Each structure stands twice: as C-alpha cells, then as structure tokens.
Chains A and B, each alone.
Chain A
Amino acid sequence: MLKTFRIGGVHPPENKLSANGKIIVLTLPEQVIIPLSQHIGAPATPIVQKGDTVKAGQLIAQATGFVSANIHSSVSGTIVAIDNVTDAAGLSKPAITIKVEGDEWENGIDRTEKIEHNIALSQEEIIKAIAAAGIVGMGGATFPTQVKLTPPPGNKAEFLIINGVECEPYLTSDHRIMLEKAEEIIIGVQILMKAIGVKKAIIGIENNKKDAIAHLQQIADKTPEIEICPLKVKYPQGGEKQLIQATTGRTVPSGALPIAVGAVVQNAGTALAVYEAVMKHKPLIERVVTVTGKSVKNPGNYLCRIGTPVSKLLEAAGGIPEDTAKVIGGGPMMGRTMLNIDSPVMKGTSGILLISDKEARRSPVRNCIRCSKCVSVCPMGLEPYLLAKLATFNLLERLEEEKVMDCIECGSCSFTCPSARPLLDYIRLGKTRTGAMLRNRKK
C-alpha cells in the first residue's frame, strides 16, 4: 500500500508527455531580462549600472533584508537597462536587461562534470553559501532557502523532506533531474541535512516516476539516512502539508509552519541548486524548464538561463501550436497564465504549458447543486462552496471561522465542480481580504 495524504485529492490526467525527454541545453538567447523579484520577500537591490559589463554568475542585485534573495547575472554581456518591464501577468516590475555577449563565467565557478562528494563546509558556512548563491524554492513557491534553513528560535528540525513528487500534470523537470542528476541531488540532500542538523531525510516521489524511484533508491543505497518514499499518485501530493503527512504521518497544525512538526521541506530542484552552489560555487543562474502541451511539436525539458524569454523556449519546442489559447507558467492546476510570451524564465518557472481553447475555456457558471463534491476533494478538509459564498458576501469573520486561511489554493474544488463554479477565484478573494483583516488586528 503506497503512502498518501488522508483527506481529499483529485486525479487529473497525468499527461507526462515529456517524461522521456532527456534534458536539452538551450542555446543562449540574444538578451535576458532578469527581474529583481523572483522570490517571496523584498525585491533585490541592483548593485550594477546601465552600461556595465557582467559575467555569468556575477552578483548584480543584493538581497534587501532577511527575507529576500541575491540575484546573479545568468549570462556574460552588457547591461542595457535597469527599469520597469511588463511581466507575464501584465504588471510593471523592475528588471535588469542584459545583452548577451559570449559566455564568460565568474572565476571560481567549477563548470566541470566531476561530482564532488566531500562536504567540507560547516553548518553556518553552508547556509551563508546558499544565501550568497541566491537560492530560492524551485518548486515554484520561490521562498528564500536560507530563511527556511534558519528556523525561528525554539523550533527544532527533525526531518528533511525532499519534494520529488511533481504532482502537477504535464510537468517533468524534477523527474528528469532525478534521473540525470541523481548523485548530485543526493549530495545536495546531505548538504541540506547538515545545514539544519538532522539525521534523517525522506525523498517523496509519486509512483508514476518508477524509473526515478528505482534510480534514486540505487544511489541512496549507500546512504541509509536518506529514505526514498514512493507515494500514491494523487493531486496535490506535492503540497507541503500533504507531503509531510504522507511521508511522516505528522500533521502540521492549522496556521503553523512545517517546522512545528520538525519538518523542513525542499524541492528536488532546490537540492540540486544547493549542491551546485556549495560544491561547485555556482549561483542559481539556470534551471530545467519543461515545455509541453498536447499540440506542442517537441515537448521536452530544457536547461536554460534565468532571464531567457519564454518565446525562445517555445521556438526550441517547435514553435507555438496553431490552437494555443493559453500559455501557462507552471502546471495546469496552479500555474499562472501568461499575457506576454517575451517575459522571462525565472527561478521558479518549472514549466511552460500550452493548452488549446477546448481544454482551456471555462464552461458557463451554473447554480451550486450542493453535491458536496468540492468538500470531498478538498485536501485541507474545508468547504469550498461555503467559503466561496462567504467571500461573495464579504463575511470575513465567518471566513476566518471556516478556516479560509488554511486553503492551499490547489484548485481541486474548481476542478471538480459539476456546475463549473469558479470556487477558487472567490476563495482567493476571501483569503486576501481575511488576511488583511487579520494583519490589521495584530497591529
């Protein structure tokens, strides 16, 4: 019996079209656009100026405060602009635009394929190196990793949990790095274990990646402190709280962080980035991005530099299919639609998904028939139909009572609703307003 989380969950069709696609190194674009905010927390502050020449791996913006991240140039070239650009959502955000010239890297970065096993750094040095490298959660949440590795006083970490679940349909970048960079990931896990001072790590992987599970089990055979845990295929197994419950049986209390049950969760891609930062002195400047979709000519997994325009990735994948109606950054359940395909790949961009009008267009909204299917599928045990109604009428105290803040925005409710009601849209609205009310109350 495969382990899984206890309540709720849905089974969207997996569509892992690019699962067998070996990672392809994308050729360099002509220019990169590097946003100053690719992470949760304050945007980074630029330390370069227009006209400067930079090398790949050079620090170009510094973290602003504790909950922030450093930003490095992903290419060598000349800075052509530091100003606001229109991002994928159509909003105006500051970014550094660099014209690519050659491919020179900063001194000290080890670009060889040789795998380094000896973790010489101390716990504090590791965390400093991770912060210096600008590493953030690469599953998509982009939380600055050094913050997660520094639990607030009074909290003790017991397990490190690695999220190799990749429960979103279509996405396969974590699958491929677990197959092709398994040794590096295992070392990255060991580095992370040292950083938080734990003796046990569990790598959770959904059972539709049997080859990755087998491969990692073989490599982790020599490291008994790292357990590979196959999990039942059920969305959203990759949700942090669901993953902790499935792998350890522990339940993170409402409103609390994973550290409250002694768990620290990191994405598999983050573990890889940590290996590269600590052992190869390479900051986070490139990542594997899945480009996929039923009509895409060459769905695949592309290693590309941060700041590469999405349009360049689409070109490599065979161009934009005729029937494309939506370009999504991320997966179909929680990804964000893009307005502008020239916007850049960022640290949290796990995949670009192109879907047709038929798949994408929402059905007309009809009356709630009170079937309670949304309640059955909610992984947090909430009542989406009720939360949506309360949000419509702006009943914030009731929303708080009904635990709207526990919602992880997985989309299982909207996915399931037979009346095609936009439940998550209203719940998100309710969360925003209730969150603001709660913050005001604290003041």
Chain B
Amino acid sequence: MKLLVSPSPHLHSGDSIEKNMYGVIIALIPAFICSILFFGTGAIIVTLTSVLACLFFEYIIQKYLLRQQPTIFDGSAFLTGVLLAFNVPSNLPVWIIIIGALVAIGIGKMSFGGLGCNIFNPALVGRVFLLISFPVQMTTWPLAQGFAGSYTDAQTGATPLTLLKEAVKTGQSVNDLLVADTFIGYKEMFLGHMGGSLGEVAAWALLIGFAYMLIRKIITWHIPVTIFATVIVFSGILHLCNPDQFAGPLFHLLSGGMMLGAIFMATDYVTSPMSHKGMFIFGAGIGILTVVIRVFGAYPEGMSFAILIMNAFTPLINRYCKPTRFA
C-alpha cells in the first residue's frame, strides 16, 4: 500500500487566501448596500466595472505577459476592484474606471511580482493615479440622492471636507461651518447621507464590516484603532489650540475616507507591518499624516496619501519592530 511521507505538521487549519479575501468582501457588503441606497445606479455601475476590469487585467497580464497560471479566483483582484470603486465618485465614467483598474492591478500589483510582493496598496495606487490624472472628474462628488440621481447626469455638491477646506481658506471659522445650512450634521455624517466616494460615506456600515472581520479573525484591531486614536488626539490638540481654524476629532473621524481607509485600506495584509509594535507605528503615522495633509496641505483629503506614504515605511518597520519574544 502506498503511504504518503512528508514532514510534520500533518494537519492544516483550512484557512486560505480565498477565505480571507472574500471575507473582506463580505465585510464590505453593508457599505455597498449603503452606496446603492445613497448613489443609486452609479454605485452599481462603478463597482461592477471596477471589479470586472481588475479581474480582466489580472487575467491577461498573468496569462499572456507573465505566462503563469492565472489566479483571478483567489479573491485579491476582486477585492482590489471593490476597494478601488469605493474610493471614487459614483458618477466616474467607465473608461476612467478601467484605466484606474489597469494602473491598480498592472502597476500597483503585478509589476512588483503579483500577490504578496507589492509595496503599495494597489487600490490606492489606482485611485491616486486617477486623482492626479483626472482631477475634475475625481473631485466632483454626486449628492446622496439614491436612485433619484442618475449615473450620467448626477447632481453634484461638496463633501464636508471640501466645505471645511473652503471655509478655512475664506477665513470662515469652523464653528460658522458647523452651524451653516450646508453642513449636514454629525448624525447624517455617521449614517452616510453626504457627498463623497462610493464606499467612504456610511461610517456605521463600515464599522459593522470592521466587527465582522474581527470576529472572523481576518484582521486585528491594532491598525484601525491606532489610526482613530491618533486622529482624535492630534486633531483634538489642534482644535483645542484654535477651535476656529481647526475642526474637532469627530469631524475628522466621520469625514472623507477616514473610516474606509482605516478599516479596509490600511489593514491590507501585504502592505502593512507584521508585528503589533509595527502596526502601532504604522497607524500613528497614518493618523498624523492624514490630519496634517487635511489641515495644512492643499488637498482636502489626506487618507490615501497618508496610507501610501506609510506603506513605503512598512519594510523598514518590519526590519526593526519585532514581535514580543517568548524569552
């Protein structure tokens, strides 16, 4: 009788790349439902296009350029597609989304060597490329009108962050902004009833996804909680120093890509540190950089850049931050 011989261990937990990738995608379902409720058909078209384009590009690059067995069903390109979609406005033209997917997968992931080898979060690489190449389309945000708004002809408006940037530039105080008619209020910000990219608006939906991923042990709490804590402390200090010029922590937590970025983008396995100590440094860096760019930089939103900058530090962080040794 033929016996298999191999070294121990002879058991496997059953965990797989697919379980983790599709698990994250499942965690994004509440946010996706919200995006459809708030942005209507645009949300569906953008997400579908992004996902299909990412899968397509990964397939042809792997099969025809790299001559490897395509791995498009492992869930990673699918996830990149979803996250790229969630980072852009719901009325972004299809051809721009496709270019974004090509950059995200082709440059952000495959050029580094494929899954596990990239330094920067591929969805963010795609998103930032689009932001810089198509600044107008990438900063025109449809209002949250649900199916009443149309994909091709959406009514657009400012996001809370753009309002803040404008206000401070024109000398308005933060307080004036908060009491103005144009400000929707924190409750609406939490629920997501505001302008913004597809996936970033509904804080509560994203937090449900966070809880789901924690329960399924897909990610740990360290990176998101550190980002939130750093943002609270840093923006809190600024706000205390000059409440008229600087918005408070709650505003920063609920606006822009903060929730989406902290929970889903910064926690990307490949581009984040491997030890808890490293994750604390990584999260703190992102929190500080995001507030700095939002408050002192030219862009109203800083999360994407902050994460990409800290991605660059991850190998260095890994080299010097070691897990707690047994002895």
Q: A residues within 8 Å of B by Cβ?
A: 6-8, 10, 12, 90, 169, 241, 245, 251-254, 256, 320, 324-328, 332-339, 341, 353, 355, 357, 359-363, 366-373, 375-376, 378-383, 385-386, 403, 406, 409, 411, 414-420, 422, 424-425, 428
Nearest Cβ on chain B to A45's Cβ, whole angstroms: 31
**Interface 1/0 per residue, B1-17 and A, CB below 8 Å:** 10111111111110111
A256–B326 Cα gap in the complex (Å)?
12
A415 touches B326 (CB 8 A): no
Q: Is the CB of B324 within 8 A of A7?
A: yes
Minimum C-beta distance from A141 to chain B (A): 14
Q: Are B116 and A367 neighbours in the complex by a CB distance under 8 Å?
A: yes
Is B275 an interface residue when CB atoms closer than 8 A count as contact?
yes
CB–CB A383/B274 < 8 A = yes
User: Considering only CB atoms, which chain B residue lies closest to A336 in the complex?
Assistant: B8
* Interface of chain B residues 286 through 327 with chain A (CB within 8 A): 322-327
Q: Tell whether A334 pairs with B326 under 8 Å between CB atoms, given A369-B115, A416-B15.
A: no
Q: List 5 A-B contacts (CB under 8 A).
A: A333-B8, A337-B5, A381-B324, A386-B274, A424-B7
Considering the chains assembled together, what is the distance between the CA atoms of A335 and B271 in angstroms?
Answer: 36
Looking across the interface, which residue of chain A has its beta carbon closest to that of B327? A254
Nearest-neighbor residue (CB-CB) of B10 within chain A: A332
A359 to B11, CA, bound (A): 7
Bound together, the chains give a CA A191 to CA B184 distance in angstroms of 78
Determine the main DSSP class of B at the interface with A: loop
Chain B residues positioned under 8 Å from A381 (CB to CB)? 323-326
Residues of A within 8 A of B322 (CB): 383
Taken together as a complex, chains A and B put the C-alpha atoms of A135 and B274 apart, in Å, by 44
Return the contact of B274 from the options A324, A336, A372, A411 (Cβ within 8 A). A372
B116 x A373 contact (CB < 8 A): no
Q: How many residues of B contact A (CB 8 A)?
A: 38
How far is it, in angstroms, between the C-alpha of A10 and the C-alpha of B15 when the chains are bound?
Answer: 12
- Check if A416 sits within 8 Å of B270, measured CB to CB: no
Q: How far is the CA of A293 from the CA of B4 in the complex (A)?
A: 15
Given known A-B contacts A10-B13, A417-B15, A424-B7, A369 and B116 have beta carbons under 8 A apart = yes
Residues of B within 8 A of A373 (CB): 15
Q: Are A370 and B116 in contact (CB under 8 A)?
A: yes
Contacting residue for A415 out of B9, B71, B76, CB 8 A: B9
How far apart are B11's CB and chain A's nearest CB, in angstroms?
A: 4
Return the contact of A406 from the options B11, B13, B117, B325 (Cβ within 8 A): B325
List 5 other contacts, CB 8 Å, given A7-B324, A370-B269, A419-B116: A337-B7, A357-B4, A415-B9, A415-B11, A420-B12
In the bound complex, what is the Cα–Cα distance between A328 and B6 (angstroms)?
A: 10
Give the complex CA separation of A379 and B324 in angstroms. Answer: 10
Given contacts A362-B12, A380-B325, contact A372 B269 (CB under 8 A): yes
CB of A383 within 8 A of CB of B275, answer yes
In the bound complex, residues from chain A placing their C-beta under 8 Å from that of B20 are 369, 371, 418
Select B3's contact among A332, A337, A379, A403, beta carbons within 8 Å: A337
The reply to whether A362 and B6 form a contact with Cβ atoms under 8 Å apart is: yes
B19 at the interface (CB under 8 A from A): yes
- The answer for the CA separation of A6 and B323 in the assembled complex, in Å, is 13
B146 interface residue (CB < 8 Å to A): no
Contact A418 B5 (CB under 8 A): no
Most chain A CB within a 10 A radius of its CB, from B7, B220, B323, B326: B326
Q: How far is the CB of B4 from chain A (nearest CB, A)?
A: 5
B114 at the interface (CB under 8 A from A): yes
Q: Is B325 touching A339 in the complex (CB atoms < 8 A)?
A: no
| Contacting residues of chain B (40-84) with chain A, CB-CB under 8 angstroms | 71, 74, 76
**Given B6, B270, B324, which contacts A370 in the complex, CB threshold below 8 Å?**
B270
Quote the shortest CB–CB distance from A264 to chain B (angstroms). Answer: 18
What separation, in Å, do the CA atoms of A359 and B10 have in the docked complex?
8
Complexed CA–CA distance, A337 and B271 (Å): 37
Report the minimal beta-carbon distance from A318 to chain B, rounded to whole angstroms. 16
- Chain A residues with CB under 8 Å of B17's CB are 366, 369, 418-419
Minimum CB distance partner of A328 in chain B: B10
A8 to chain B, nearest CB (A): 8
Residues in A with CB closer than 8 Å to B71 are 366
Is B326 touching A380 in the complex (CB atoms < 8 A)? yes
9 nearest A-B residue pairs (beta carbon): A411-B9, A367-B116, A381-B325, A372-B274, A380-B326, A371-B269, A332-B11, A254-B327, A418-B15
Look across to chain A and name the residue whose beta carbon is closest to the beta carbon of B18. A418
A322 CB to closest chain B CB (Å) equals 9
Q: Which residue of A lies closest to B76 (CB)?
A: A369
The residue of chain B having its C-beta at the shortest distance from the C-beta of A338 within the complex is: B3
Q: Which residues 253-295 of B have a CB within 8 angstroms of A?
A: 269-275
Q: How far, in whole Å, are A333 and B9 apart by their CA atoms in the complex?
A: 4
Give which listed residue, A366, A368, A382, A414, contacts B325 with CB less than 8 A.
A382
Kindly list chain B residues whose C-beta atoms are within 8 Å of the C-beta of A382: 323, 325
Q: With a CB–CB cut-off of 8 A, which chain B residues contact A368?
A: 116
Task: Name the distance in Å between A201's Cβ and chain B's nearest Cβ.
Answer: 23
Give B218's nearest chain A residue, CB to CB.
A371
Residues of B near A367 (CB, < 8 A) are 114-117
B269, A327: Cβ atoms closer than 8 Å: no
**Are B7 and A428 in contact, with the CB atoms below 8 A?**
yes
On whether the beta carbons of B3 and A325 are closer than 8 Å, the reply is yes
The residues of B that contact A320 with a CB separation of less than 8 Å are: 1
Query: Which residues from chain B contact A333 at a C-beta distance below 8 Å?
Result: 8-11
Q: Given A332-B9, A334-B9, do A375 and B4 touch, yes or no (CB 8 Å)?
A: no
Q: Is A355 in contact with B10, judged by CB distance below 8 angstroms? A: yes
Structural contact, B1 and A414, CB atoms closer than 8 A: no
With A326-B3, A381-B326 given, is the CB distance from A375 to B274 under 8 Å? yes
User: How far is the CB of A75 from the nearest CB of chain B, in Å?
Assistant: 27
In Å, the complex CA distance between A403 and B324 comes to: 12
Q: CA separation between A52 and B126, bound complex, in Å?
A: 81
Contact B12 A363 (CB under 8 A): yes
Q: Find out whether the CB atom of B3 lies under 8 angstroms from the CB atom of A327.
A: yes
Q: How far is the CB of A217 from chain B (nearest CB, A)?
A: 29
